[in-house]
Amino acid sequence: MSPQPTLTKRQYLTLGSLLFGMFFGAGNLIFPIHMGQLAGSAWLPAAIGFLLSAVLLPLLSIMAISLTRASSMYDLARPAGHSFALFFLLATHASLGLLIASPRTATVTYSIGIAPFLGKGQQQIGLLIFSFIFFLTTFLLARNESKITTYIGKLLNPLLLILLAVIFFWALVIKGDIRAISFTSSPKLMSSNLINGFLQGYNTMDALAGLGFGVTIITALKLMGLHQASTRAKAVAKVGSLAMGLEALIYMLLILLGAISLGFSRLTANGGTAFNQIMTHYTGLIGTALLGAMTLLACLTTAIGLVTSFSQDLGHRFPKLGYHFFLPMTTIGAFLIANFGLDQIIAYSTPILMLLYPLAIALIMLGLMHPWIGKNTRIYKTTVAFTMIPALLDAIHALPAGLAQLPIFNSIQQFATTYIPWFGIGMDFVPFLLIGFLTGFIAAKLSGHKLAPDLPDPD
């Protein structure tokens, strides 16, 4: 076996920047700022909760891909059965690449950077033209897989970081507004904001995205000469830690900025409006242009990552068609759905996310347990089967009002509210997941089969 090359610090930084750029989209700018406003003086516990779900969980998803040495999201889910793995792959990537995250990159950029300058009657045609240019650019930049690291890691992402650094330095150091923020709060506020911050972190969708982005990092590592699975696994873990560490720092500063903004503005309806007010306060008219540039860079890098990971995973599953067949299909689909508007996208995709998130958490947990349980199909299938029950209940609970009030769905919700623990707070999957795992583990042990990890296939 030929010796594996060692990545330089510069290559690790480039790959970390690539992964950060794919994760950090417009929602990642908007949600922490709005949460900072909601938390106010209790911003610190809210920030801790937010980091647990928006940083730690996505990092664990990258680690699960690394530990299992999976080459795709499908590979990670495969021990639970071929049908489930294919369903999870298509449903997750459809949500990320088609139904919500990818279309949202265009609609959020438009609403922040373009819509304020157009009249009410020009909004629909404006969105159509902008989203066409946006996704055409995304397609052209994602067309060459070998250049993705250069476009995101070396060019677009550093520009975004520079813009963020400017506003942080101006607000916290030059203006000195950090002196106005409190670092203490009552125990009641601390506990409630910790939970609220944790739940708000789900809005980033990064735990799902991490399962898909892992494949893009693995592809980049192969292009750099790392063809041995064990070597790639260690590199993926290092790159993931670097990217999510940077994201955690920026989240903390954005949440702090949101809390500080209550000193010169009122609580806003969403983070986009709050960010507009913050930029205007600190930079005047220049702030509008700066915010538009930041949002465009954040959204463009994320859109490239989403369509690339979707097309790569499908290309691996259907090699006769390949990456370059699925890439235009993905970008065209995202373009069409973006023109339904942000409100419609969120309303009808939320039930899908409520279905997928518990399943993703189950797979992440199983992947992290790989050194002890390997890819034992009995444990995987039992855990996923138990987790599917509350996942379906949560999806029904999140249906749009018109559908949720149908007699059959209303009856199901009343039953779940009465008999299912933690259903009302959306955490009902936790006991089901644990019971499923323990049941599968005991059954596997009683069967006499060895639980040691599978040996990796040679690359």
Alpha-helical regions (H) of 318-341: 323-338
**Cα of 353 vs its chain's centroid, Å:** 11
153-171 confidence digits (pLDDT tens): 456 667 777 877 888 888 7
Query: Percent of the chain having pLDDT more than 90?
Result: 20
Residue 206 to residue 60: CA distance in whole angstroms: 11
Token look-up 């980049």 returns: 220
61-94 confidence digits (pLDDT tens): 888 887 887 777 888 999 999 999 989 988 887 7
Q: Return the pLDDT at 60.
A: 87
> In the structure, what pLDDT confidence band is assigned to residue 184 with cuts at 50, 70 and 90?
low
C-alpha closest to that of 313 among 67, 105, 148, 92: 92
Residue 307 to residue 93: CA distance in whole angstroms: 9
H or E segment to which residue 443 belongs: helix 429-447
Residue 431 to residue 160: CA distance in whole angstroms: 41
Asked which of 172-181, 387-396, 422-431 is least confident by mean pLDDT, the reply is 172-181
Q: Taking the CB of residue 258, how many other CB atoms lie within 10 A of it? A: 29
Select the highest-mean-pLDDT range: 171-175, 189-193, 224-228. 171-175
293: CB partners within 8 A, 6+ apart: 113, 163
415: CB partners within 8 A, 6+ apart: none
φ, ψ (nearest 5 deg) of residue 426: 75, 20
- Does this model's pTM top 0.85? My answer is no
Residue 70 to residue 205: CA distance in whole angstroms: 21
User: Is the pLDDT assigned to residue 419 strictly greater than 70?
Assistant: yes
DSSP labels, 21-77 = HHH--HHHHHHHHHHHHHHGGGHHHHHHHHHIIIIIHHHHHHHHHHHHT-SSHHHHH
The one-letter amino acid at 2: S
